C-alpha cells in the first residue's frame, strides 16, 4: 500500500488583531523542505517591515516527517513551538504555516504570545482546503478499436483517468491511476481483452 495522508490543496490567509498587534497567518502546501523555505521567504517578501515572521512546517507524514520552526526573534518557546504544536495536531502533511506580526506597541507577555500564535496557526490551517496525497502511476495501453469504448468505461470504473489518446492502427491510451487502484484495472482489462492488452507503466 502506498502511503496516503491529508495535505493542503491551496493556500490560506487570515488576519488577527490582538492589542493593536497585527498577526497575519499564511498556510500552504509544501512538499519538500526547499518548498517550505521558499514559501517562508515569499511571505516575508510580501509583508515587508514586519516585526517577526514566525513559521512552523511538517514535510512528509507519520514516521517519515521533517519538522521545522522558528521563533523569529520572539521570546523562546512563545511562537514557533506553539505554531508547530498546532501543525502536528492538525494531522496534515506537507504543510507550512507562516505568521507575520506587526507589533502594535503593547507587549502581550509570554502567555499572550503563545495564545496569539496558537490561534493564528489554528485559523490559518482551518481555512485551508484539504485533499489527500496519493501516489499516482502513469501507464500506456494499446487498445483495439473494437474495445475502445469498453476500456474507456473500465478506466473510469476503476478510478483512473485518460491523460492522452493516440489513434493509429490501434488506440494508445495514456492512463493515470492511484497506485493502489492499478492492479484491479489490470485484472479486469485482462478479463475483458482475453489477455491481449498489456498495461505498461511509464
Share of the chain above pLDDT 90, in %: 83
Residue 56 burial (CB count, 10 A): 28
Average pLDDT, the chain: 93
Q: Are residues 99 and 22 in the same domain?
A: yes
Q: Are residues 124 and 146 in the same domain?
A: no
- The pLDDT score that the predictor gives to residue 3 is 67
* pLDDT class of 151 with cuts at 50, 70, 90: very high
- The pLDDT score that the predictor gives to residue 1 is 41
Residue 121 burial (CB count, 10 A): 29
Give the CATH number, domain containing residue 183. 3.30.70.240
Say how far apart CA 182 and CA 177 lie, in whole Å: 6
172 DSSP β-pair partners: 142, 166
Query: Of 102, 93, 97, which Cα lies nearest the Cα of 119?
Result: 97
Q: What is the mean pLDDT of residues 26-55?
A: 96
Does the pTM exceed 0.85? no
Q: Are residues 46 and 108 in the same domain?
A: yes
Q: Are residues 63 and 143 in the same domain?
A: no
What is the total count of domains within the chain? Answer: 2
Is residue 130 a contact partner of residue 28, using CB atoms and an 8 Å limit? no
Q: Are residues 102 and 196 in the same domain?
A: no
Q: Which residue has the higher pLDDT, 133 or 42?
A: 42
**Domain span at residue 149?**
135-201
Amino acid at each position: 500500500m502506498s502511503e496516503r495522508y491529508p495535505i493542503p490543496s491551496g493556500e490560506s490567509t487570515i488576519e488577527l488583531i490582538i492589542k493593536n498587534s497585527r498577526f497575519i497567518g499564511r498556510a500552504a502546501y509544501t512538499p519538500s523542505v526547499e518548498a517550505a523555505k521558499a514559501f517562508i521567504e515569499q511571505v516575508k517578501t510580501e509583508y515587508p517591515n514586519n516585526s517577526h515572521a514566525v513559521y512552523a512546517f511538517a514535510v512528509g507524514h507519520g514516521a517519515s516527517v521533517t519538522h521545522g520552526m522558528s521563533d523569529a526573534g520572539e521570546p523562546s518557546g512563545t511562537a514557533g513551538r506553539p505554531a508547530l504544536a498546532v501543525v502536528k495536531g492538525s494531522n496534515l502533511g506537507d504543510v507550512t504555516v507562516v505568521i507575520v506580526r506587526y507589533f502594535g506597541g503593547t507587549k502581550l507577555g509570554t502567555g499572550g504570545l503563545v495564545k496569539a500564535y496558537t490561534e493564528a496557526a489554528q485559523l490559518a490551517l482551518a481555512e485551508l482546503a484539504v485533499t489527500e496525497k496519493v501516489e499516482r502511476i502513469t501507464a500506456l495501453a494499446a487498445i483495439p478499436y473494437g474495445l475502445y469504448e469498453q476500456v474507456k468505461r473500465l478506466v473510469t470504473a476503476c478510478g483512473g483517468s485518460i491523460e492522452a489518446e493516440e489513434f493509429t492502427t490501434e488506440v494508445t491510451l495514456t492512463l493515470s491511476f492511484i497506485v493502489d487502484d492499478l492492479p484491479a484495472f489490470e485484472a479486469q482489462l485482462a478479463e475483458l481483452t482475453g489477455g491481449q492488452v498489456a498495461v505498461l507503466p511509464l
